[in-house]
């Protein structure tokens, strides 16, 4: 039975098409603009698929760390919010652990682990992100849903890697 994988053909490693390469990879995600904007700062100079995936996970980690700091700040504002957000803080802590595990699986190209960890991240943060809306917490314009958006992009990029 033929397997239907998007085979990603990287172009030769020339200076000019690096941007095009990331753009091409990000075009396969649900949020290509966010992908491009968040991944580029974490890319050094290697632009193969695994490097872009690693950079995407780092971008997600950055968003998650930032969100945790905002959550902690909100928790200090009222006892009611402290209670409402303590579960969230725990879920984001799990999320950070899972992102670190996903990153650790990159060097050995262990995509199974990467995918499982990223899926767990999405599950953990989706409950929290809807909780933010419920409690009318404007985490900030830049943060609303960013962890799940960047995690979703990571999963899309991981899906491009030929197995």
Using 50, 70 and 90 to split pLDDT, how confident is the model at 11? Answer: very low
Q: What is the pLDDT of residue 84?
A: 78
Q: Which domains does the chain have, with CATH numbers?
A: 33-160 (1.20.140.40)
Q: Is the model's pLDDT at 67 over the cut of 90?
A: no
Q: Which helix (H) or strand (E) holds 62?
A: helix 49-75
pLDDT one-digit tens code per residue, 86-112: 888 889 999 999 999 999 999 999 999
pLDDT one-digit tens code per residue, 79-91: 888 887 888 888 9
> How many whole angstroms separate alpha carbon 72 and alpha carbon 75?
5
Q: Where in the chain does DSSP place strands (E)?
A: none
Q: Is the model's pLDDT at 25 over the cut of 70?
A: yes
In this structure, are residues 68 and 89 in contact, taking their beta carbons and an 8 Å threshold?
yes
Averaged pLDDT for residues 120-137 = 77
Q: What is the pLDDT of residue 15?
A: 43
Q: Which residue has the tokens 């996903």?
A: 102
> How many whole angstroms separate alpha carbon 76 and alpha carbon 79?
7
Q: Is the model's pLDDT at 13 over the cut of 50?
A: no
Q: What is the pLDDT of residue 5?
A: 43
Average pLDDT, the chain: 82
Using 50, 70 and 90 to split pLDDT, how confident is the model at 9? Answer: very low
């Amino acid at each position: 039975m033929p397997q239907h994988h998007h085979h990603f053909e990287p172009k030769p490693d020339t200076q000019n098409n690096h941007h095009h390469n990331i753009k091409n990879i990000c075009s396969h995600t649900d949020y290509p603009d966010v992908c491009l904007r968040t991944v580029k700062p974490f890319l050094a100079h290697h632009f193969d698929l695994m490097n872009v995936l690693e950079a995407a996970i780092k971008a997600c980690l950055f968003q998650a760390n930032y969100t945790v700091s905002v959550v902690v700040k909100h928790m200090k504002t009222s006892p009611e919010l402290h209670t409402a957000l303590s579960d969230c803080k725990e879920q984001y802590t799990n999320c950070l652990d899972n992102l670190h595990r996903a990153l650790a699986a990159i060097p050995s190209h262990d995509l199974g682990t990467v995918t499982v960890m990223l899926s767990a991240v999405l599950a953990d943060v989706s409950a929290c992100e809807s909780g933010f809306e419920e409690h009318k917490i404007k985490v900030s314009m830049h943060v609303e849903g960013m962890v799940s958006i960047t995690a979703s992009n990571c999963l899309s990029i991981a899906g491009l890697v030929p197995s």
